């Protein structure tokens, strides 16, 4: 059963969003969910005494901001690596060292 989201948040003060683009999405829309997702949504709605529509609306309103924040963080980290402010770490070597530490700790416990 589709859940309809009334509107996305109209946060015109947030400079990351173009007000004209945002206003294009203030109409009602239908969202089709997998049955297990819908079950979790209705469970959360019951737990929080909020409507499923409100929960979907909040999730959809927050997603673009979260995505923009993540993109900004990744861009800054890439710039730090590119300009030499930080050194990249060899993932395989790091995991090997962690595994060795774990083996050492387990062997000293027995």
Angle between the 35-48 and 52-82 helix axes, to the nearest 10 degrees? 110
On the question of pLDDT at 27 being above 60, the answer is yes
In the chain, where the domains are located: 3-109
- Say what the pLDDT of residue 75 is: 96
On the question of pLDDT at 7 being above 70, the answer is no
On the question of pLDDT at 34 being above 70, the answer is yes
Compute the distance between CA of residue 19 and CA of residue 49 in angstroms, rounded to an integer.
31
Task: List pLDDT tens digits, range 43-101.
Answer: 999 999 999 999 998 998 899 999 999 999 999 999 999 999 998 889 999 999 999 99
Give the chain's length: 110
Q: Are 30 and 2 in contact (CB under 8 A)?
A: yes
- Please name the helix (run of DSSP H) or strand (run of DSSP E) that holds residue 39, with its range, or none: helix 35-48
The residue with greater pLDDT, 5 or 25, is: 25
- Say what the pLDDT of residue 108 is: 84
Helices and strands in the chain: count of H runs, count of E runs: 4, 2
């Amino acid at each position: 059963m589709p859940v309809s989201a009334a509107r996305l948040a109209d946060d015109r003060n947030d400079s990351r969003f173009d007000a004209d683009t945002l206003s294009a999405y203030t109409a009602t829309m239908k969202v089709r969910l997998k049955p297990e997702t819908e079950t979790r949504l209705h469970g959360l709605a019951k737990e929080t005494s909020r409507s499923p529509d409100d929960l979907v609306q909040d999730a959809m309103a927050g997603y673009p901001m979260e995505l923009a924040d993540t993109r900004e963080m990744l861009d800054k980290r890439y710039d730090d690596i590119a300009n030499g402010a930080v050194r990249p770490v060899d993932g395989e070597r790091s995991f090997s060292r962690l595994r060795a530490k774990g083996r050492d700790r387990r062997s000293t416990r027995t």
